[in-house]
Amino acid sequence: MLPTTTICELRTEKHLHSCVGLLRSAFGTVAMDFGLTQELAPTNAAFTTMENLQTHVQQGMALYGLYCDSSLIGCVAIKKSKGNELVFYIERLAVAPDSRHFGLGGQLLMFAIDTIRKGGGRTASIGVMDNNERLKEWYRSKGFVQHDCRRIAHLPFKVCFMSMELGNVGTA
């Protein structure tokens, strides 16, 4: 059963600071599982800094926090594609390690999809580590389809790109 939660946009320095801690904790478990270090993958969310997060927000990334009572337990970011105004990227979807397996990731994903749809988006796109089969399967179960997989120069792994046409959305 889902705990009672609220989602709101994170804009203040205090909120962003809390989000940095959440991202480092949530993505840190994945970094550990896959042997990622700051030297190998400095742009991975496990190594987020306040300055980095502020820059992304200033460049148009909308960041939302999932709260249970007054505790930030999850987040998701949405960014419009520069090349196609109908495509939006879902990024930094994270749930605190001790709050996982309660459906909160799905709640954040559905919130992001609904927000993208309300903003005129027709396609939601994500990028995940290609060797993270569990995460890819989770996104597939939510309706995402893989459309590309390639090596990015600054990353030590291939990135799997998946998308969902929003006209086909059921329940995430």
Q: What is the pLDDT along the chain (172 residues), one digit of tens a residue?
A: 556 899 999 999 999 999 999 999 999 999 999 999 999 999 999 999 999 999 999 999 999 999 998 899 999 999 999 999 999 999 999 999 999 999 999 999 999 999 999 999 999 999 999 999 999 999 999 999 999 999 988 888 999 999 999 975 444 4
Q: Give alpha helix (H) positions in the chain.
A: 13-34, 50-58, 104-118, 133-141
Q: In the prediction, which pLDDT does 154 show?
A: 83
Q: Treating both helix axes as pointing N-terminal to C-terminal, what angle do 13-34 and 50-58 enclose, rounded to 10 degrees?
A: 110
**The pLDDT of residue 156:** 83
pLDDT at position 155 is 84
- Contact (Cβ atoms closer than 8 angstroms) between residue 104 and residue 74: yes
Query: What is the model's pTM?
Result: 0.92
Domain covering 6-168, topology:
Aminopeptidase (3.40.630)
Task: Measure CA 97 to chain center.
Answer: 15
How many Cα atoms sit within 13 Å of 167 on the Cβ side? 2
d(CA 157, CA 71): 33
Query: Domain residue spans in the chain?
Result: 6-168
